Amino acid sequence: MAFFIETYLLIIFLLVVLFFTYAEKRHGSREMNIDRRVLDAVQVNVPLRMLYETYSDVFLKFGLNPEIGLDADALENFSVLEVKEIVLPFHRKNRSITVHGPFLDLSPGSPDPAIREITRHRFGQLLTFVSVLKPKSVVCHLGYEEDRYGYIKETWFEKSLTMWAWFGEELRKAGSCLMIENVYEHLPDDMLPFFQRLQQHQVGFCLDVGHQAVFGKVPLSSWMKILGLYIGQIHLHDNRGERDEHLPLGKGDIDFSPIIHFLRNRHALPIITLEPHEEKDLWPSLAYLKDVFSLFETG
């Protein structure tokens, strides 16, 4: 009887070993199947705490370039020295870093000075990390919502411009640049004055294609026609047009052909960031970039 139990346990042990060996090979095979040129050319979003606690090894193993999210948790609970230690391996491996700034409950154009003050405080906290992060760009949501601020639109815009001019200039002097992203904005015309008036601070437009598909009121081609001159970064994810789902590219209903045409006619590519909300959604998006966008072929 003991012989059969020992044999049974041995079989179970071997099956477990085989399973993990297979899983590791599958995990490793993803690296083999992803074009190095694609990995080098794109950023991948990840909150700072998740990078620190879970994903640093994955990012370093596959040579991913992180777009690090600095939310209130990160700004309050990580020191400059801790952040320096987190990103040092990425700098050593010549990985590029971009940053996504805080946005929840912030309003740079609020008529309430206390709300603007906490917004400026959060942006000021972010500035203290720029010297160690060395980001190519810092992305922030414009934060305008027609349904909430439409009746004070001009006031909101003017106060917001003051905030962005200060922040954009501080980032420029620190060797980075500010990219303002669309979220709930309906029309590119509403954002155009910001970029026209912030040119001296080298502030660019981060076109979020997923947000445009859900919240935009005119076609993607109109956004690129009106704001194309200012596009310095693009956020890519997919959805079905009803919710901001952050699906893998090709798994929703977004027609990416206008953006593909736009990018193929650019002299140089803007910063491109993939924004999966789960690790499993990253890999099909990387494959989609190579197979459908076809932007990274050598001549």
pTM: predicted TM-score of the whole model, two decimal places: 0.89
**pLDDT(179) > 80:** yes
Domains of the chain: 42-293 (3.20.20.150)
Instruction: Calculate mean pLDDT across residues 23-29.
Output: 44
CA distances from 285 to 58, 180, 247, 277, 289 (A): 16, 23, 9, 12, 6
Q: How confident is the model at residue 293 (pLDDT cuts 50, 70, 90)?
A: confident
**pLDDT(248) > 70:** yes
* Token reading at 21: 């060996």
**pLDDT(176) > 70:** yes
Instruction: Calculate mean pLDDT across residues 151-168.
Output: 98
**pLDDT(53) > 70:** yes
**pLDDT(110) > 80:** yes
**pLDDT(5) > 50:** no
The C-alpha atoms of residue 214 and residue 186 are separated, in whole angstroms, by 9
**pLDDT(45) > 80:** yes
The backbone torsions φ and ψ at residue 7, rounded to the nearest 5 degrees and listed phi first, read: -65, -40
Whole-number pLDDT of residue 62: 96
